[in-house]
Amino acid sequence: MTSAKKTVLINDVTQAAELLRGGKLVAFPTETVYGLGGAIWYPETITDIFRAKGRPADNPLIVHVADAEALDELSPAVPPIARDLVQAFWPGPLTIVVPKREAVSSLISAGLDSVAVRSPKSELARSILKECQIPIAAPSANRSGKPSATTWQAVLEDLDGWIDAVMKGPPCEIGLESTVVDCTSKYPRLLRAGSVTPEQLAVVCPEIEITGPLSAAANSPGLRHRHYQPVAKVIPIQEVLSVSPCPTRAMLTLESHPAADLFGLYRRCHTPEDYAAVLFEFFRQADRRGITEIYCQLIPASGIGRAIRDRLNRAADSQ
Ligand code: TXA
Ligand code: MG
């Protein structure tokens, strides 16, 4: 399928909101990654989102809202634990999965009777959502299978010609997608790790089930698909010294490598948060330079480390 739209770069919140209200596709920054937004009440708009991303129809979308009041418009029965999580973490990088109202198209939920909802913290995203007053479905603004876009340039790289506009905002602060928690069964369950950590979730909800990625796959269809993969091969490593540098290799690390200059691309991060913020753009930079192997140092699975390990392992999977 070929692209047909003329994609424009915009700066103005009112223009973004007007385009969205008119059923157009507008990518905009959130604190996690850029989202590819479309108003949820127009079925053609939702179909357009799937087409623009090349996304399998069985992978449901997250609906973005300005505040918690909008939840009842989407769900007939918001579980008390979902309200507690919302109270603690919204606006912010937490998505909750709750029972879906019939009015919400099953195209969005990929046929499930639940819907994923999030209220982002980014001021730009919040202003757009407030001004357009319609809930906005927004998957990450990348072609399906590719690393998520954390800059407007990365959005254009993947979606130029497929969407109507890109909001020219700053690079995303967190750099990894939101934490997803399923609140539809007796005990809430972590479906996707993110910057809201299991430790933080457990404070609000001690009975939360933190399962491994495989058992979560059945409940979060998105986890079954190929994800986060640059063209270059991603190779997670423990020891930076185990890698000999050369111009076709890239390294992303928390410890310095003594021959850093000899890599085609090299970045040392000082904190796990830094590492998360640059990870997807690092993958894309490596591809732009024709790098063939990207070595990424694994970090402990605590805090945001769990989400980083999850993305790295899936980027490295079956390449
Ligand atoms: O940070 C984020 O969440 C970003 C920004 C743009 O908000 N969005 C994002 O969307 O990452 P996407 O489409 O790339 O990932 C959505 C995830 C997928 O893993 C999908 O399977 C899961 O949410 N999901 C959506 N609806 C669901 C549902 N009803 N039940 C279970 N999982 C669901
Ligand atoms: Mg995505």
Mean pLDDT, rounded, for 122-132: 97
Task: Choose the final residue of a domain: 171, 189, 216.
Answer: 216
Nearest CA to ligand 1 atom 13: 139
Residue 150 lies in a domain: yes
User: Would you place residue 230 in the very low, low, confident or very high pLDDT band (cuts 50, 70, 90)?
Assistant: very high
Task: Choose the final residue of a domain: 216, 246, 270.
Answer: 216
What spacing in Å lies between the alpha carbon of 25 and ligand 1's midpoint? 17
Which ligand sits nearest to residue 99's alpha carbon? Answer: 1
Q: What is the pLDDT of residue 221?
A: 62
Residue 2 lies in a domain: no
Residues 189 and 260 in one domain: no
Say yes or no to pLDDT of 96 above 80.
yes
Closest CA to 276 of 316, 309, 247, 302: 309
Q: What is the pLDDT of residue 214?
A: 43
Q: What is the pLDDT of residue 309?
A: 96
Closest CA to 279 of 240, 248, 305: 305
Mutate to test the pocket of ligand 1, among 40, 177, 185, 215 (most ligand atoms within 8 A of CB): 177
Tens-place pLDDT, residues 20-62: 999 999 999 999 999 999 999 999 999 999 999 999 999 999 9
Residues 186 and 157 in one domain: yes
Residue 1 lies in a domain: no
Beta pairing partners, 163: none
User: What is the number of domains present in the chain?
Assistant: 2
Residue 31 lies in a domain: yes
| Helix, strand and coil percent figures for the chain, each rounded to 5 | 35, 20, 50
Instruction: Decide whether any atom of ligand 1 lies within 6 Å of the 66 Cβ.
Output: no
What spacing in Å lies between the alpha carbon of 116 and ligand 1's midpoint? 7
Residues 183 and 41 in one domain: yes
Q: In Å, how far are 28, 43, 143, 171 from 40, measured between CA atoms?
A: 16, 7, 20, 26
**Number of alpha carbons in the 13 Å side-chain half-sphere of residue 301:** 10
Give the nearest ligand 1 atom to 222 CA: 21
Residue 166 lies in a domain: yes
Residues 111 and 212 in one domain: yes
Residues 189 and 282 in one domain: no
Preceding amide of 91 cis, omega within 30: yes
Which ligand sits nearest to residue 106's alpha carbon? Answer: 1
Residues 205 and 244 in one domain: no
Closest CA to 35 of 61, 6, 14: 61
Residues 209 and 249 in one domain: no
Which is more confidently placed, 183 or 214?
183
Task: Choose the final residue of a domain: 148, 182, 216.
Answer: 216
User: Would you place residue 213 in the very low, low, confident or very high pLDDT band (cuts 50, 70, 90)?
Assistant: low
Per the structure, the complete domain to which residue 307 belongs is given by 233-316
Residues 272 and 187 in one domain: no
Instruction: Find the length of the chain.
Output: 319
Closest CA to 124 of 143, 108, 109, 138: 138
Residues 55 and 202 in one domain: yes
Q: What is the CATH number of the domain that holds 283?
A: 3.40.50.11030
Is residue 118 within 8 A of residue 95, CB to CB? The reply is yes
Q: What is the pLDDT of residue 226?
A: 72
For residue 292 the two structure tokens come to: 């063939």
Residue 303 lies in a domain: yes
pLDDT averaged over the chain?
A: 94
Which is more confidently placed, 217 or 144?
144
Say yes or no to pLDDT of 279 above 50.
yes
Least confident stretch, 97-111, 151-165, 221-235, 249-263: 221-235
Cβ neighbours, 10 Å, residue 186:
9
Give the nearest ligand 1 atom to 93 CA: 1
Q: Which 3 state secondary structure label does DSSP give 278?
A: helix
Is residue 109 within 8 A of residue 19, CB to CB? The reply is no
